[in-house]
């Protein structure tokens, strides 16, 4: 098991209003989720509970559920009829849930040429006595590689522990490393290059669901990642590469995650001063939600980004789902785009009504927005500033609200996933068996990339976390008491700057008109899922010793 450890601790401030209403400032990935929780637990009307969370800090799953400091703050505020803040200590951060431990069994069968003929993957995962907490652990094996005979099984084991909780790429970063380590073992048994084995069993069809992928540029991820890494220079034999007193290993793995879209609402309001305000009750946990929503709105209405303001994290705003599952860009972004398009339609109707308007006999599809103007596609010189059109609205802002709903018909026809290929180099000290990840190259096929800088940051963070999972991170339990013992940042090992070396991120071009109106796929979690296996496979290549129990610590290599 592993635990979340965002730098800033969980805290909730409950402001008690004179009329008994509550305004709550909470560290949460879903303001409406916390509002729903408080309303139901304390039997309060929704309108009497407002949750505000414009800035969250680190979360990545730890803030999906309301944690118990929220309950305690509200309980005390209502009892005392005054404002109350409850903050958790660092040790208490180890008490509200963890990434569950699993025991997984995998068997693979293949022809001598590497063609997979059979696959078995089961998982036993922990849960609490009072809740069946589940994750998608084994399903990835059925869609990653072409194989006609697949058996998957998943079992829960109730233990005397608190319920596990979502932690970046829940289930995926647990199950994918298992199957990708097994694939590496199979490659060595066959005497094949691990990349060649994956290409041999490549598929553009999801056999588990019986449908094609909406898009899949994984083959190009393999090619570009291998080329950038220099994979062709790899010696196949373990313990065959050295650098001074260190054994050098190269490993690779595949990554996969879902490309989902959820329902959401957004409001866009263009003022008489030409400034656009866009609002939706989403969250930003450092992923760049503020930035990309501003960009989407500005692009849709042809405005400078400095003329656009995006607000989020408030239950007074249009409803949005929790910020999780790597679906925020597709979900809230689609709603923002629709709301801004509705504003554009209203502006177009206002323009058509004016005497002698060049837009009078045109359709909305005949115009576009650029540089703060609405223009005709056939005659771009026929343009009118948006501020002039807003003034035609009786001096009021043009305000529209829109809901974005996934295209369920399309989604039933196609499997929607984001893919990655990860290549890692490790050095293992021959005497002390310490492992250092020297470099990682990861190639991502994630649809349209809205902002290369924030997208790259997401992948960098995911890779660091993947390195952490592979060689650092572990919660150690005393089974006599059911208590995690290393409940501090001194003994819960996390990578520091000296542990993180070169990380190279490649975004492979991928066009997907099916996945959502923006053609984007979430990047929050794909960065981590393939890394632990790539590192573990590199450690085997360096040492000749296969460690299947993460993290790979030096004692396991002695």
Question: Active-site residue numbers?
Answer: 525
- Burial zone of 222 (CB within 10 Å; 0-12 exposed, 13-18 middle, 19+ buried): buried
C-alpha dist (Å) from residue 238 to 174, 251, 429, 431: 25, 11, 15, 17
DSSP 8-state assignment for residue 425: E
Report which of 185, 64, 198 is spatially closest to residue 135, judged by C-alpha positions.
64
Whole-number Å distance between alpha carbons of 49 and 29: 17
Query: Alpha helices of 210-266 — where are they, by DSSP H?
Result: 218-229
Strands 308-311 and 276-279: parallel
Query: Alpha helices of 402-525 — where are they, by DSSP H?
Result: 408-413, 452-471
Whole-number Å distance between alpha carbons of 379 and 72: 63
Whole-number Å distance between alpha carbons of 27 and 98: 18
Whole-number Å distance between alpha carbons of 541 and 231: 13
Burial 230-247 (b: 16+ CB within 10 A, else e): ebeebeeebbebeeeebb
Whole-number Å distance between alpha carbons of 477 and 258: 32
Burial 316-335 (b: 16+ CB within 10 A, else e): ebbbbbbbbbbbbbbbbbbb
Residue 519 near residue 511 (C-beta atoms within 8 A): yes
DSSP 8-state assignment for residue 232: G
**Torsion on CA atoms 494, 496, 500, 503, rounded to nearest 10:** 80
Give the chain's largest Cα–Cα span: 86
Burial 135-158 (b: 16+ CB within 10 A, else e): bebbbbbbbbbebeebebebebee
* Residue listed under structure tokens 């995650």: 257
The token pair that represents 390 in the structure block: 């807003």
Which residues, other chains included, contact 37 with Cβ-Cβ below 8 Å and sequence gap of 6+? 66, 70
Whole-number Å distance between alpha carbons of 271 and 274: 5
DSSP 8-state assignment for residue 163: P
Residue 109 near residue 36 (C-beta atoms within 8 A): no
**3-class DSSP state for residue 377?**
coil
Strand partners of residue 22:
16, 49
């Amino acid at each position: 098991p592993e635990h979340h450890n965002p730098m800033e601790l969980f805290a909730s401030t409950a402001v008690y209003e004179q009329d008994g209403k509550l305004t709550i400032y909470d560290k949460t990935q879903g303001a409406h989720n916390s509002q729903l929780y408080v309303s139901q637990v304390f039997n309060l009307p929704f309108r009497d509970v407002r949750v505000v969370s414009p800035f969250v800090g680190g979360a990545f799953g730890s803030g999906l559920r309301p944690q118990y400091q929220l309950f305690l703050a509200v309980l005390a505020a209502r009892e005392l009829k005054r404002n109350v803040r409850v903050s958790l200590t660092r040790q208490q951060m180890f008490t509200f849930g963890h990434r569950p431990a699993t025991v997984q069994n995998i068997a693979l069968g293949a022809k001598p040429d590497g063609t997979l003929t059979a696959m078995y993957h089961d998982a036993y995962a922990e849960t609490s006595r009072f809740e069946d907490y589940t994750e998608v652990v084994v399903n990835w094996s059925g869609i990653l590689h072409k194989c006609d005979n697949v058996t998957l099984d998943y079992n829960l084991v109730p233990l005397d522990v608190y319920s596990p909780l979502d932690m970046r790429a829940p289930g995926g970063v647990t199950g994918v490393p298992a199957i990708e380590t097994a694939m590496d073992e199979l490659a060595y048994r066959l005497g094949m290059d691990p990349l060649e084995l994956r290409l041999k069993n490549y598929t553009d069809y999801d056999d588990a669901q019986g449908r094609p992928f909406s898009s899949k540029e994984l083959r190009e991820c393999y090619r570009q990642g291998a080329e950038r890494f220099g994979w062709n220079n790899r010696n196949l034999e373990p313990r065959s590469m050295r650098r001074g007193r260190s054994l050098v290993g190269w490993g690779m793995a595949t990554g996969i995650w879902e490309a989902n879209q959820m329902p959401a609402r957004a409001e866009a309001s263009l003022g008489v001063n030409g400034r656009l305000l866009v609002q939706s009750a989403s969250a930003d946990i450092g992923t760049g939600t503020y930035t990309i929503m501003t960009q989407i709105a500005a692009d849709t209405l042809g405005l400078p980004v400095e003329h656009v303001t995006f607000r989020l994290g408030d239950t007074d705003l249009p409803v949005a789902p929790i910020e999780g599952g790597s679906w925020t860009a597709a979900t809230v972004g689609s709603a923002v785009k629709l709301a801004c398009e509705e504003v554009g339609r209203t502006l177009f109707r206002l323009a058509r009504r004016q005497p002698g308007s060049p837009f009078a006999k045109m359709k909305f599809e005949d115009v576009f927005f650029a540089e703060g103007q609405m223009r005709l596609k056939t005659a771009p010189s026929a343009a009118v500033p948006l501020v002039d059109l807003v003034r035609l609205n009786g001096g009021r802002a043009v305000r529209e609200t829109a809901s974005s709903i996934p295209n369920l018909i399309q989604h039933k026809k196609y499997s929607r996933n984001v893919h990655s290929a990860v290549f890692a180099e490790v050095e293992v000290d021959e005497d002390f068996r310490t492992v250092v990840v020297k470099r990682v190259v990861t190639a991502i096929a994630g649809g349209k990339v809205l902002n290369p800088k924030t997208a790259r940051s997401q992948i960098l963070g995911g890779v660091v976390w993947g390195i952490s999972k592979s060689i650092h991170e572990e919660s150690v339990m005393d089974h006599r008491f059911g208590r995690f013992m290393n409940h501090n940042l001194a003994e819960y090992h996390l990578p520091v700057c000296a542990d993180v070396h070169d990380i190279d991120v490649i975004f492979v071009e991928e066009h997907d008109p099916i996945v959502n109106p923006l053609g984007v796929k979430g990047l929050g979690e794909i960065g981590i899922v393939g890394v632990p296996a790539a590192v573990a496979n590199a450690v085997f290549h360096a040492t000749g010793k296969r460690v299947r129990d993460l993290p790979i610590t030096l004692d396991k290599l002695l």
